Structure 1
Amino acid sequence: MLNIREYLKNNRLIMDGAMGTYYSDLEGDESAFSEFGNINRPEIIEKIHSDYINAGAKLIRTNSFATSIEALGVTVFEQKRIIEASCEIAKRAAKDKAYVAGDIGPIKENAESTESEILDEYIRMCDIFLAADVDVILFETFSDMIYIKQLVKYIRSKKDVFIMTNFCLNKNGFTRNGLSATKILSELAQIDEIDACGFNCGIGSGHMSNIMKKLKYPSNKYIACIPNAGYPEQMQNRMIFMDNVDYFSNNMKAIADLGIDIVGGCCGTRPTYIKKLAEKIDLKPVKKVSFLGSDIAEVHKELRKNVFYSKFETGKKVIAVELDPPFDADYEKLVEYAHTLKKQGVDIITMADSPMGRSRVDSILMSVKLANETGINVMPHICCRDKNMIAIRSTLLGAYINDIRDLLLVTGDPVPSESRRLTTGVFDYNSIQLMNFVKEMNQEHFADEPFYYGGALNPTMGKIDNIIDRIQKKIDAGCKYFLTQPVYSDDAIERLAEIKRRVDTKILCGIMPLVSYRNANFMKNEFIGIDIPDNIVARYRPEMSKEEGEETGAKIARELMEKLNPIVDGYYFMLPFNRVSLIGKILG
Structure 2
Amino acid sequence: MRIQDYLKQHKLIMDGAMGTYYSRIENNQNAVSEYANLMAQDKIRGIHLSYIEAGAKLIRTNSFAANQQVLNITPAEQVDIINASYELAAQAVKESGKEVYIACDIGPIPELGGRTEEDILEEYRLICDTFLRHKPEIILFETFSDMVYIKRLAAYIKAVAPEVFIITNFCLNKNGYTSKGISARTLLEEIADTKEIDAGGFNCGIGSGHMYHILKKLSFPENKYIVAAPNAGYPEQFQNRMIFMDNEAYFEENMQRITALGIDIIGGCCGTTPAYIKKITDKIDLKEVQRGIRVKQSQKATEQKELRTNDFFELFVPGRKVVAVELDPPYDAKDDTILACASKLKESGVDIITMADSPMGRSRIDSILMSIKLMRECGISVMPHVCCRDKNMIAMRSGLLGAYANGIRNILIVTGDPIPSESRQSTTGVFDYNSVQLMNYVKEMNREHFTEEPIYYGGALNYGRGPVEKVIERMEKKIEAGARYFLTQPIFTDEDIDRIIYIKSKVNTKILCGIMPLVSYRNANFIKNEITGINVPDWVINRYTPDMAKEEAEWAGAKIASEIIEKLKDCADGYYFMLPFNRVSLMDKIKIV
> Contact 1:344 / 1:583 at 8 angstroms: preserved in 2?
yes
Match of 2:35 in 1: 36
Deviation at 1:510, TM superposition (A): 0.6
1:109 Cα deviation (Å)?
4.2
In the alignment, what sits opposite 1:390?
394
| Partner of residue 247, structure 1 | 250
Q: Structure 1 residues 423 and 441 mapped into 2: Cα distance closer, same or farther (>3 Å)?
A: same
Shift in alpha-carbon separation, 1:67–1:403, aligned structure 2, 3 A: farther
Which secondary structure does the structure 2 equivalent of 1:269 belong to?
coil
- Partner residue, 2:541: 537
The structural deviation recorded for 1:462 is 2.1
Counterpart in the other structure of 1:338: 342
Residue 203 of structure 1 corresponds to 206
Counterpart pick for 2:454 among 429, 432, 450 = 450
Change (3 A) 1:109 1:50: same
Q: Tell me which residue corresponds to 2:385.
A: 381
- TM-score normalised by L of structure 2: 0.94
* Residue identity in the other structure for 1:198: G
Structure 2 residue aligned with 1:104: 106
- Tell me which amino acid in the other structure corresponds to 2:128: C
**Deviation readout 1:112-149 (Å, 9 max, x if unpaired):** 66544443443333233223333211122233333332
**Conserved 8 A contact 2:12-2:57:** yes
Instruction: Tell me, yes or no, if structure 1 residue 313 matches structure 2 residue 317.
Output: yes
> In structure 2, how many angstroms separate the alpha carbons of the residues matched to 1:429 and 1:266?
25
Amino acid at match of 2:369: L
Which amino acid is the alignment partner of residue 54 of structure 1? E
Letter in 1 for 2:25: L
User: What is the deviation of 1:543?
Assistant: 1.6
Are the equivalent residues in 1 in contact too, given 2:181–2:437 (CA < 8 A)?
Answer: no
Q: Which residue of 2 aligns with 1:137?
A: 139
Deviations 1:231-253 (A, max 9, x none): 22333332222222222223323
**Change in CA separation of 1:418 and 1:308 when aligned onto 2, cut-off 3 Å:** same
Partner of 1:157: 159
Corresponding residue of 2:491:
487
Alignment of 1:116-135 (within 5 A): 116-135=118-137
Residue 170 of structure 2 corresponds to residue 167 of structure 1: yes
**Partners in 2 of 1:420 and 1:77 — Cα distance?**
38
Q: Describe the shift of the 1:426–1:55 C-alpha distance in structure 2 as closer, same or farther (beyond 3 A).
A: same
Alpha-carbon distance, 1:178 to partner: 4.2
Cα distance in structure 2, aligned partners of 1:493 and 1:210: 52
Q: Which residue of 2 aligns with 1:216?
A: 219
Residues 16 and 276 of structure 2 are in contact (CA less than 8 Å); yes or no, is this contact kept in structure 1?
yes
Alignment of 1:369-448 (within 5 A): 369-448=373-452
Q: Is structure 2 residue 18 aligned with structure 1 residue 19? A: yes
Query: Structure 1 residue 230 and structure 2 residue 233: aligned?
Result: yes
2:280 pairs with 1:281: no
Task: From the superposition, tell whether residues 303 and 488 of structure 1 become closer, same or farther in structure 2 (CA, over 3 Å).
Answer: same
Corresponding residue number in structure 2 for 1:466: 470
* Cα pair distance change 1:144/1:586, threshold 3 Å: same
Question: Structure 2 CA distance, aligned partners of 1:334 and 1:77?
Answer: 61
Of residues 342, 348, 354 in structure 1, which corresponds to 2:352? 348
CA distance in 2, matches of 1:75, 1:414: 33
* 1:23-102 matched pairs, under 5 angstroms: 23-95=22-94, 97=98, 98-102=100-104
Q: Residue 230 of structure 1 contacts residue 241 of structure 1 at CA under 8 Å; is this kept in 2? A: yes
The answer to whether the 8 A contact 2:353-2:382 is kept is: yes
Corresponding position: 1:526 with 2:530: yes
- Give the letter aligned to residue 569 of structure 1: D
Conserved 8 A contact 1:144-1:179: yes
Contact 1:186 1:296 (8 Å CA) reproduced? no
Match of 1:476 in 2: 480
Q: Distance in 2 between matches of 1:373 and 1:395?
A: 20
In the alignment, is residue 497 of structure 1 matched against residue 501 of structure 2? yes
Shift of 1:182: 3.6
- Determine the C-alpha separation between the residues in 1 that align with 2:356 and 2:105: 43
**One-letter code of the match for 1:485?**
Q
Structure 1 residues 456 and 236: alpha-carbon distance in aligned structure 2, compared to 1, 3 A threshold: same
- Partners of 2:165 and 2:352 in 1: CA distance: 53
Q: Tell me how far apart the structure 2 counterparts of residues 319 and 430 of structure 1 sit (CA, whole Å).
A: 27
Farther-moved stretch of structure 1 (555-564 vs 124-133): 124-133
From 271, 280, 284, the equivalent of 1:268 is 271
Deviation at residue 173 of structure 1 after TM alignment: 3.7
For the residue of structure 2 that corresponds to 1:586, the secondary structure is coil
Amino acid at match of 2:132: L
C-alpha spacing 1:585/1:441, structure 2 compared with 1 (3 Å) = same
CA distance in 2, matches of 1:388, 1:120: 31
2-structure distance, mates of 1:574, 1:75: 50
What is the identity, as a one-letter code, of the residue corresponding to 2:184?
A
Q: CA offsets, 1:400-442, max 9 Å, x none?
A: 1111111111111111112112212122332112211211211
| Letter paired with 1:14 | I
- Cα displacement (A) at 1:460: 2.5
Map of 1:367 onto structure 2: 371
Question: Does the 8 Å CA contact 1:12/1:262 hold for their aligned counterparts?
Answer: yes
Please identify, of 288-297 and 226-235, the stretch whose mean Cα deviation from structure 2 is larger. Answer: 288-297
Please, which moves more after superposition, 543-552 or 119-128?
A: 119-128
Distance of aligned partners of 1:317 and 1:112 in 2 relative to their CA distance in 1, 3 Å threshold: farther
Aligned residues: 587
Superposition CA RMSD, Å? 2.1
Say whether 1:189 aligns with 2:192: yes
Tell me which amino acid in the other structure corresponds to 2:140: L
Post-superposition shift, 1:396?
A: 1.2
Contact 1:110 1:430 in 2 (8 A): no
> What residue identity is the alignment partner of 1:216?
S
Partner secondary structure for residue 8 of structure 2: helix
Identity %: 62
Residue 178 of structure 1 contacts residue 444 of structure 1 at CA under 8 Å; is this kept in 2?
A: no
Quick check: 107-116 or 94-103, which moved more? 107-116
Q: Which runs of 5+ in 1 are unaligned?
A: none
- Counterpart CA distance in 2 for 1:491 and 1:135 is 57
Q: In 1, Cα distance between the equivalents of 2:332 and 2:542?
A: 36
Q: CA deviation at 1:28?
A: 0.7
The 8 Å contact of residues 179 and 440 in structure 1, kept in 2 or not, is answered as: yes
Q: Following the alignment from structure 1 to structure 2, what is the Cα–Cα distance between the partners of residues 353 and 94?
A: 57
Q: Deviations over 1:75-117 (max 9, x none)?
A: 4444444333322322222236322112122334479665444
Give the letter aligned to residue 438 of structure 2. L
State the distance in 2 between where 1:370 and 1:121 align: 51
Q: 1:281 to 1:294 in 2, by over 3 A?
A: same
Aligned-partner Cα distance in 2 for 1:433–1:256: 32
Structure 1 counterpart of 2:43, one-letter code: I
Q: What whole-Å deviation, never above 9, does each CA across 1:130-176 have from its counterpart, x for those lacking one? A: 23333211122233333332222222112121101122333444434
Contact 1:409 1:453 in 2 (8 A): yes
Query: Mind listing any 5+ residue stretches in structure 2 that lack a counterpart?
Result: none
| Contact 2:102-2:138 within 8 A present in 1 as well | yes
**Structure 1 letter corresponding to 2:169:** N
Indicate the larger mover: 250-259 or 157-166: 250-259
For residues 123 and 391 of structure 1, the distance between their equivalents in structure 2, rounded to whole angstroms, comes to 36
| Alpha-carbon distance in 2 for matches of 1:425, 1:214 | 35
Once the two structures are overlaid, the 10-residue window that deviates more, 253-262 or 513-522, is 253-262
| TM, length-normalised to structure 1 | 0.94
Alpha carbons of structure 1 residues 431 and 227: separation in structure 2 relative to 1, 3 Å: same
